[in-house]
Structure 1
Amino acid sequence: MEIRHLRYFITVVEQETYTNAASMLHISQPSLSTTIKKLEIELGLTLMDRSTRESSLTKEGKILYQEAKKLINHFDHVSEEMTRLKQQGPLELSFGLIESSKSWVPKIIKEFKKEYNDVHIKIFDILSLDEVVKSLSNFDVHLAITNQYINNEEIETIPIYEENLVAILPPSHPLVAKNYIKISDLENEEFIVCKEGFQTREDILNAFRKSGVKPNIQFEIERFETACSMVEEGLGITVVPENYVKYSKKFPFHVKKIQDSNISRTVYLAIDKNRYLPPLVNRFIRLIRNFFDGDDT
């Protein structure tokens, strides 16, 4: 298979007719039809259903389209990367992260900049599982820091650390007087939790279920910052990753460990297995892993 033939095939699929596709590709319609037919002969498969006026895909054609899109995307990215490396050198790093990692990521960047001072860094907030997978698959980011294990054969998920989740209480809350709290202490409290689709929500609600407690959910949010601000105003309580408050500035709320339940989560590095990663990206990954392994090399 030639890359050019796959591009032609993808264009026919996305433009829905040979006429539109030929116009976009600046070739004649007969030439385009011949190319697609040759591709089918080469593969020994029927890719296009020609029984209708509009071009529709066979089952085999759908599979080829999906895989060809990935291949072309990867090919174009590698070609662009090689051209840029030749002209400018490795000058860009882009990655996505979850909110709680913002407490330690600047420390990694500081070390990274000592070696790659001229690198332009792009940082994206990537919170949900769908956002992580989409950003990696589309090559929007080189890597992602996430608290969700990704069950995808094209994405490698590397555990880097585990952290406890802790309760955040308003300043004048009665539970502040306790040395520690239990899940049962939170049963009737107005609760602030992440919206559906976030792994932290699942971790918290699972802990409640295991304790036989039904949380009184009053607010659903996307960011821990919002939840903590609401706690400060006495609107309820919430549960957040320990690192989020450990490295944050001092806030007028109280942090309490939850003693009778192992509420914790794992934070991962996620990368696309099929993507070429420049040396500077691999170095950034090593710095992250070394930071939590206690290794300075």
Structure 2
Amino acid sequence: MEIRQLKYFLTIVEEGSFSGAAKKLHMTQPPISQQLKILEDELNVSLIERTTKKVVTTDAGELLYQRAKEVLDLLDLTAEEVRELREGISGTLSIGAITSLASELLPEKIQHFKKMYPKVNFQIHEGDPNRIMELLENRNIELGITRLPVNTQVFDMIRLPEEPMIAVMNKQWDISNKFPYINLSNLEDKPLMLLRRLQGTSSYNDTVEPVKDSFRTLGYEPTIITESDNIATLLNWAYHGIGIAIVPKSAKNLIPYDEIIYKEIINPSIKTRPSGIIWRKKGYLSTVSRKFLEYFKA
């Protein structure tokens, strides 16, 4: 069993056809088919069902596919670590984050990390929790920072602290005498704008239900005029005085207008859903990403 045979086999399965694998590997099809046949003869098993147009793995083929991925990932990691012993830690780390946390949490973390590892570069992708999950599952990013819950059978995580919700408003709505906080009761009958995430296959997160529940503890229903899955839209509408947005505190840095007032909500306070930094359980993690996770843990 040779490494190149494992690479050919993985590419056949992932591309779904011999022709697709040949195109991906920049080869002709016959050598790929020949190497797969040699591998099957050596193992004395069939790895591919040849009675269908699309590649379908046998049980033995599925087992080999999973093991081959682990072997090749380990080889890549080993080669990377050997290079880093000579050159120092370098490379590009791809991170996905929901918009509010990307603006609040990442700049400070990345600034400190770059001081320790100046040869590391970053690619940052922003989106809602479902988008972050999709990017991870498709291996477009290595790490994601998002609201919980997530599927713990698919992802490992480091939980991050909860953060308070804040009321964001134009100066015309300043009803708490310029104090940096506001009682929840002060928002009774005020036009509120809340963040809602669409339910998807990977995650579900919103601020609508926590806000409603908090108001109900005071004995009344909130006046909700807008629900949006775009936090920047809510902040922009708050800036224009349409209503008062209730968003996570980490959103403060998204629109730094002097006309916008941010007030922490108290009596009772409202907390966001917990957040976490997540990665695929069975996925390959580069040395850079593992160092970044160690930094978060510390």
Q: Same fold (TM over 0.5)?
A: yes
Bigger shift: residues 196-205 or 93-102: 196-205
Q: Does the aligned pair in 2 maintain the 1:204–1:263 contact within 8 Å?
A: no
1:38 pairs with one of 36, 41, 49: 41
Aligned partners of 1:58, 1:149: CA distance in 2, in Å?
Answer: 33
1:202 pairs with one of 201, 206, 212: 206
TM-score, L = length of structure 1: 0.71
Q: Does the aligned pair in 1 maintain the 2:143–2:278 contact within 8 Å?
A: yes
The alpha-carbon deviation at position 59 of structure 1 amounts to 6.7
Describe the superposition over 1:212-257 as per-residue Cα deviations: whole angstroms up to 9, x where unpaired.
Answer: 84763535242x3332121010122221112333898564233250
% identity of equivalent residues: 18
1:98 matched to 2:98? The reply is yes
Q: What residue in structure 1 maps to residue 110 of structure 2?
A: 109
Q: Does the aligned pair in 2 maintain the 1:166–1:239 contact within 8 Å?
A: yes
Describe the superposition over 1:44-100 as per-residue Cα deviations: whole angstroms up to 9, x where unpaired.
Answer: xx5433334x24425737845873685477357426624642664312352333333
Q: How many residues align?
A: 282
TM-score, L = length of structure 2: 0.70
Report the AA paired with residue 206 of structure 2: E
Q: What residue in structure 1 maps to residue 162 of structure 2?
A: 162
The alpha-carbon deviation at position 140 of structure 1 amounts to 4.3
> Which runs of no fewer than 5 residues in structure 1 stay unpaired?
291-297
Q: What residue in structure 2 maps to residue 147 of structure 1?
A: 147
The alpha-carbon deviation at position 163 of structure 1 amounts to 0.8
Report the AA paired with residue 241 of structure 2: G
1:227 matched to 2:234? The reply is yes
Q: What residue in structure 1 maps to residue 277 of structure 2?
A: 269
Q: Does the aligned pair in 1 maintain the 2:5–2:36 contact within 8 Å?
A: no
Structure 1 residues 176 and 276: alpha-carbon distance in aligned structure 2, compared to 1, 3 A threshold: same
Aligned partners of 2:132, 2:208: CA distance in 1, in Å?
Answer: 21
Aligned partners of 2:57, 2:290: CA distance in 1, in Å?
Answer: 40
SS at match of 1:225: helix
SS at match of 1:243: helix
Aligned partners of 2:72, 2:133: CA distance in 1, in Å?
Answer: 15
Structure 1 residues 59 and 175: alpha-carbon distance in aligned structure 2, compared to 1, 3 A threshold: farther
Q: What residue in structure 2 maps to residue 81 of structure 1?
A: 80
Q: What residue in structure 2 maps to residue 239 of structure 1?
A: 246
> Which runs of no fewer than 5 residues in structure 2 stay unpaired?
none
Q: Does the aligned pair in 1 maintain the 2:100–2:254 contact within 8 Å?
A: no
Bigger shift: residues 60-69 or 73-82: 60-69
Report the AA paired with residue 275 of structure 1: Y
Aligned-residue CA RMSD (Å): 4.1
Aligned partners of 2:168, 2:285: CA distance in 1, in Å?
Answer: 42
Bigger shift: residues 28-37 or 123-132: 28-37
